[in-house]
Amino acid sequence: MKFLNLVLAGLLVVVASCSKEKNFDERELHLMSPEKIAGFDPIQVSDRYSGHENGKVYEGLFEFHPLKRPYELIPNLADGMPTVSADGLTYTFKIKQGVLFHESPAFKGPRELKSDDVFYTLRRLADPKLSAKGWWIIDDKIAGLNEWREKNTNLPVTNYEEPIDGFKKIDDYNFSIVLKRPFPQFLYSLAMPYTFVVAKEVVDMFGKEFLNHPVGTGPFTLEKFEQSNRIVYLRNTKFRDKFYPSEGAEGDDKLGLLADAGKKLPLVDKVVVDIIPVDQTQWLNFQKGRVDLMEMKSMYERALDDGNQLHPNLKSNGIRLHIDPMLDVTFFAWNYDNPIMKNKKLRQALSLAFDRAGYNRTFYKGLASEAQSVIPPGLAGYRKEFKNPYTKYDVTLAKKLLAEAGFPGGKGLPDITVETRSDTIPRQQVEFLAKNMMEIGVKIKVGQNTWPELIKKVTTRQHQGYTMAWGADYPDAENFLGLLYCPNSSPGSNGSNYCNPDFDALFKTATQLQDSPERTSQYEKLMEMVALDTPWIFGFHRPEVYVSQAWLKNFKQMEFNHSQFQYLGVDLEVKKELSKKF
Amino acid sequence: MKENSLWKDSFKRLAQDKTAMISLVIVIMYTLVALLSAMGLIASDWAREVGASNLPPSAEHWFGTDIFGRSVLAKVLRGTQVAMSVGVATAVISIPIGVFLGAIAGYFGGWIDDAVTWLYTTFSSIPNIMLLISITMILGKGLFAVYIALGATSWVTLSRLIRGEVMKHKEREYVQAAGAIGGGHMRKLFRHILPNVTHIVIINTSLQFQIAIKSEVILSYLGIGVQGEPSWGTMIDDAKLEISRGVWWQLAGATLAMFLIVLAFNLLGDALRDSLDPKLKGK
């Protein structure tokens, strides 16, 4: 043991002395991941951090514009946006010519991306033997795919050769995908990590080891992969001509986000990602200038002073602060299986008694924005000027409505248990709600659960109320409005089992439309409809706080940011200058 | 010279021990606080907001306020009620089980002994906290489940001690004499042997009491203990996030309260053992 310790100590010295010699000639990006990476098999990438790593090596047919907001889907491997048939079922795609996969012993010479690779990728996602985590995004969407999956469940080896109705190859660069029914959100699934394009030869050659040997078309190649320690990427020297965008959102110009417009991507030669699970260690590394970017998660107060400005000592090192709302909504939901909750005045009374400003101060340093309804800002369907009359804090009105609802002073109303996770903050959040509700005589109890227990209670309708946050899967309000759509009731995503026939009818028509002003106005109507009906106590759109070093260029917060890293740059002059200070 | 009874003698020895008396006073004070709180005379309005959020200790709020502006002192007092009730309930449940099983195992031997020994070795081979967690998971959360879980797990030591002691006593002359004048098993066991091993119950309870309090704190810290009422465990859980912001008073209040009662029970337990079982003194 002593010997091992000595060796370890020796190693530490070596590592420390290595990192001291900073390299100012090579454009290196230093990032960190707070969690271990699940590996490089795109169909299994369900978490955000594995998505970041896969997005460096692989690419999808589409991606989100790195600067424009609201989020705009733009072609990546696809050559232009697809044409959609009048019935909304057939999508015809064209892919860029001359896109090469990284070099690999699996290929004989250079290997170009073809239509078949896209079909192969989607088939893998549906392969019953692989139990892909991302299957749900195309489940029951593509003609003939579910049947193919079903048929192959009992075969010893999945048959990839059998034709599928929904996949129509035109030539090597043109193909169509036929859907079962109109589903305009389909294109978003082609920008998610699950559908990053892989090559059959590589999967066949590496078999189970495939997840450690990624070969994609992306801007970086994997150089070193130590799952719980460090990942190193090098610039893909054969990367196609892809350039930094020349337009962005309003104000991006002033922030210097367009300075690199027209430059060939990626902007750095090397990316080093350290796996650092402990908050404190992350923060020390950032302060030492060893990493370029850090997500502050729940540690805002380390970087912010009382006025929510960056601490002066951080500012003096040129560190920048980025605060933006996430695409999410938090809520306290009631269970509509409980007849009491069908009482609209009761629901409105509960919502009015909730002190949002106090809650925001206590849990988000006042940085969150109060949700007026279910759709977060940044999505079509959100209206900045819309104020929900039942989200203000008005105890008198709440008491009045409670009496009108038949429960004067809370009399006759049974205790309501609100289920949450048993961590400190979730518990305190429900305690805060309970404290508010006590003022109008309503008794709320805290139900503490492990995450699987909570999910089980919600999906099996064994709850009176619960609280959760919903984050966007893709930037479409459908993803949020669907939380209140009756056919999505438990075990679906509508955990409150809320049913409103008017809402359901309009939701059905609106979500079949392609993105258009018509659809946006229908989304807005739906948003107002639920706001006034107050099915939940609407909570917040939470803030996301990042800090970045002075030399990191082009960082702009993004919800779907797995392809963002190719756009980031490093200013070596600034880094050299500032490194004297660290 | 008048002969003192065994109990009187022991109490005299105990009264000479200053530490033990201080410990006893502390235990009595905690019991009083718990009783007053249970009757609603103190800390009944612990959920009320008394000031701004996270106020440091001051003349007005002795232990400061928590994140919602509630008095930490009130929470500590209310937590005392929870902790003491857990100790008492655990004792009430575990003593009868432990004494009964230990006594019959030690007295009858044979297959009864085998069965009881098997039962308690099985119980003690499962890590205690795991067992507690699984029991609270089955019973659902809350104070009641904590009572049952701790009661059902803390009889093992007592049972083992009683078994050994009964084995020793059953061969003694006075038991044989009781048998000779026609005493049955039950009479010998419960009228003659048990009164002679009661001191073990007392010592053990005093030590088990503080283990129960600690277990309640751990369970509540993990979120599977007391729900919707202040507990020292939940307060320490709160403090986990507050401490980096320099809010130390909730942690201090809860740990101080726990430290005092656990220390008092430990010292008292030792002193009780010394006075009730003088042969063991200093061991």
3-state secondary structure A351-401: HHCCCHHHHHHHHHCCCCEECCCCCCCCCECECCCCCCCCCCCCHHHHHHH
* B67 to A362: CB separation less than 8 angstroms, yes or no: yes
Q: Is A279 exposed, middle or buried (0-12, 13-18, 19+ CB in 10 A)?
A: middle
**Pairing state of beta strands A83-84 and A90-94?**
antiparallel
Looking at residue A209, the DSSP 8-state letter turns out to be G
CATH number assigned to the domain comprising residue B99: 1.10.3720.10
Helix or strand run (H / E) with residue A425? helix A424-438
- State the smallest CA–CA distance between residue A301 and chain B in angstroms: 8
CB nearest to B240's CB, from A424, A438, A448: A424
Interface with chain A: mutation pick from B68, B238, B242, B250, highest number of A CBs within 10 Å: B68
Q: Is A163 helix (H, G, I), strand (E, B) or coil?
A: coil
Encode pLDDT of B161-181 as tens digits: 999 999 999 889 999 899 889
Maximum separation of any 2 CA atoms in chain B, in Å: 75
Q: Does B223 touch chain A (CB under 8 A)?
A: yes
Interface with chain A: mutation pick from B134, B137, B219, B234, highest number of A CBs within 10 Å: B234
- State the smallest CA–CA distance between residue B176 and chain A in angstroms: 57
Nearest partner of B278 among B6, B24, B20, B23, judged by Cα: B6
Could you identify the residue written with the tokens 């009631």? A334
Q: How many CB atoms lie within 10 A of CB A523?
A: 26
> Edge to edge, what strands does the sheet with A293-295 contain?
A293-295, A543-548, A320-325
Q: Domains of chain A: which residue ranges?
A: 23-34+220-323+545-581, 42-212, 328-541
- State the smallest CA–CA distance between residue A424 and chain B in angstroms: 6
Nearest partner of A125 among A45, A205, A52, A185, judged by Cα: A45
CB nearest to A448's CB, from B53, B224, B240: B224
Cis peptide before A70 (omega within 30 of 0): yes
- State the smallest CA–CA distance between residue B263 and chain A in angstroms: 28
Residue B101 Ramachandran class (φ > 0 left, ψ -120 to 50 alpha, else beta): alpha
Model confidence at A16, pLDDT cuts 50, 70, 90, reads very low
Q: Would the pLDDT of A18 be above 80?
A: no
Q: What is the pLDDT of residue B245?
A: 75
* B224 to A362: CB separation less than 8 angstroms, yes or no: no
DSSP character string of B14-42: HHH-HHHHHHHHHHHHHHHHHHHHHTTSS
**Domain ranges, residue B125:** 2-280
Sign of CA dihedral A88, A94, A100, A106: positive
Contact yes or no for A346/A405 (Cβ under 8 A): yes
Q: What is the pLDDT of residue B282?
A: 52
Tokens of A453: 């227990």
Least confident of A116-125, A340-349, A524-533, B223-232: B223-232
* A301 to B47: CB separation less than 8 angstroms, yes or no: no
Q: What percentage of chain A carries pLDDT values higher than 90?
A: 72
Tokens of A278: 């402990």
Output A237-244 pairs: Cβ under 8 A, ≥24 positions apart: A238/A100, A238/A102, A238/A103, A238/A110, A239/A265, A239/A266, A240/A96, A240/A98, A240/A99, A240/A100, A242/A566, A244/A554, A244/A567
Contact yes or no for A326/A471 (Cβ under 8 A): yes
Mean pLDDT of A201-219: 94
C-alpha span between A237 and A239 (Å, rounded)? 6
Q: What is the pLDDT of residue B281?
A: 58
Q: What is the pLDDT of residue A5?
A: 53
Looking at residue A162, the DSSP 8-state letter turns out to be S
Could you identify the residue written with the tokens 């009359």? A389
Crossing angle of helices B18-38/B249-276, nearest 10°?
Answer: 130
Chain A residue numbers touching B234 (CB-CB < 8 A): 427
Model confidence at A579, pLDDT cuts 50, 70, 90, reads confident
Q: Does A441 touch chain B (CB under 8 A)?
A: no
Q: Does A297 touch chain B (CB under 8 A)?
A: no
Half-sphere exposure of A336 (CA within 13 A, CB side): 18
Output A130-137 pairs: Cβ under 8 A, ≥24 positions apart: A130/A43, A132/A43, A132/A44, A132/A194, A133/A43, A133/A44, A133/A45, A133/A46, A133/A194, A134/A42, A134/A43, A134/A44, A134/A45, A134/A46, A134/A192, A134/A193, A134/A194, A134/A195, A135/A43, A137/A189, A137/A192, A137/A194, A137/A195, A137/A473
* B49 to A428: CB separation less than 8 angstroms, yes or no: no
Residues whose CB is less than 8 angstroms from the CB of residue A401 and which lie 6 or more positions away in sequence, other chains included: A345, A346, A348, A349, A352
Tokens of A11: 């190693």
Contact yes or no for A293/A344 (Cβ under 8 A): no
CB nearest to A422's CB, from B49, B68, B223: B223
Q: What is the CATH class of A42-212?
A: alpha beta
CATH number of the A328-541 domain? 3.10.105.10
**Pairing state of beta strands A220-226 and A230-235?**
antiparallel
- State the smallest CA–CA distance between residue B128 and chain A in angstroms: 20
More confident residue, A107 or B283: A107
Q: Closest residue of B to A305, CA-based?
A: B245
Q: Does A446 touch chain B (CB under 8 A)?
A: yes
Cis peptide before A491 (omega within 30 of 0): yes
* ipTM > 0.85, yes or no: no
Could you identify the residue written with the tokens 């809860």? B254
Could you identify the residue written with the tokens 């980031």? A568
**Pairing state of beta strands A270-275 and A28-33?**
parallel
Encode pLDDT of B22-76 as tens digits: 999 999 999 999 999 999 888 888 888 888 888 899 988 889 999 888 999 999 9
Q: Would the pLDDT of B1 be above 60?
A: no
Q: Would the pLDDT of A185 be above 80?
A: yes
**Pairing state of beta strands A465-471 and A416-421?**
parallel
Interior angle at CA A185, CA A182 and CA A190, nearest 5: 115
Q: What is the pLDDT of residue A375?
A: 95
C-alpha span between A287 and A277 (Å, rounded)? 16
* A448 to B47: CB separation less than 8 angstroms, yes or no: no
Maximum separation of any 2 CA atoms in chain A, in Å: 79
Q: What percentage of chain A carries pLDDT values higher than 70?
A: 96
CB nearest to A448's CB, from B68, B223, B244: B223
Q: What is the pLDDT of residue A14?
A: 46
* A448 to B240: CB separation less than 8 angstroms, yes or no: no
Q: Closest residue of A to B53, CA-based?
A: A362
CA distances (Å), B168 to each of A386, B110, B120, B202, B204, in order?
82, 16, 20, 19, 18
More confident residue, B279 or B108: B108
C-alpha span between A570 and A27 (Å, rounded)? 6
Q: What is the pLDDT of residue A22?
A: 58
Q: Is A547 exposed, middle or buried (0-12, 13-18, 19+ CB in 10 A)?
A: buried
Which residues 238-277 of B have a C-beta within 8 angstroms of A? 238, 240-241, 244-245
Chain A residue numbers touching B227 (CB-CB < 8 A): 445-448
Which residues are bridge partners to A382 per DSSP?
A380
Looking at residue A95, the DSSP 8-state letter turns out to be B
Q: What is the pLDDT of residue A20?
A: 44
Chain A residue numbers touching B245 (CB-CB < 8 A): 301
Q: Does B66 touch chain A (CB under 8 A)?
A: no
Q: Does A362 touch chain B (CB under 8 A)?
A: yes
Q: What is the pLDDT of residue A299?
A: 77
Total of domains in chain B? 1
Q: Is A573 helix (H, G, I), strand (E, B) or coil?
A: helix
Contact yes or no for B66/B72 (Cβ under 8 A): yes
Model confidence at A422, pLDDT cuts 50, 70, 90, reads confident
Q: Would the pLDDT of A312 be above 70?
A: yes
Q: Does A448 touch chain B (CB under 8 A)?
A: yes
Nearest partner of A505 among A490, A489, A520, A525, judged by Cα: A525
Q: Is A263 helix (H, G, I), strand (E, B) or coil?
A: coil
Chain A residue numbers touching B222 (CB-CB < 8 A): 422
Could you identify the residue written with the tokens 């007026």? A372
* A422 to B240: CB separation less than 8 angstroms, yes or no: no
Residue A93 Ramachandran class (φ > 0 left, ψ -120 to 50 alpha, else beta): beta
- CA A52 to mean position of chain CA atoms: 10
- State the smallest CA–CA distance between residue B223 and chain A in angstroms: 5
CA distances (Å), A225 to each of A201, A215, A232, A492, A563, in order?
21, 13, 7, 37, 19
Encode pLDDT of B196-242 as tens digits: 888 899 889 988 999 999 999 998 888 888 887 889 999 998 888 78
Least confident of A4-13, A146-155, A222-231: A4-13
CATH number of the A23-34+220-323+545-581 domain? 3.40.190.10
Q: What is the pLDDT of residue A51?
A: 92
C-alpha span between A224 and A214 (Å, rounded)? 11
C-alpha span between B228 and B236 (Å, rounded)? 15
Mean pLDDT of A334-361: 94
**Pairing state of beta strands A167-169 and A328-334?**
unpaired
Q: What is the pLDDT of residue B227?
A: 81
Encode pLDDT of B110-165 as tens digits: 999 999 999 999 988 888 788 888 888 888 778 888 898 889 888 999 999 999 99
CB nearest to B237's CB, from A424, A435, A438: A424
* B227 to A432: CB separation less than 8 angstroms, yes or no: no
Q: Does A301 touch chain B (CB under 8 A)?
A: yes
Mean pLDDT of B244-271: 91
Q: How many CB atoms lie within 10 A of CB B260?
A: 15
Chain B residue numbers touching A362 (CB-CB < 8 A): 53, 67-68
Encode pLDDT of A480-526 as tens digits: 999 999 998 888 889 999 999 999 999 999 988 888 899 999 999 99
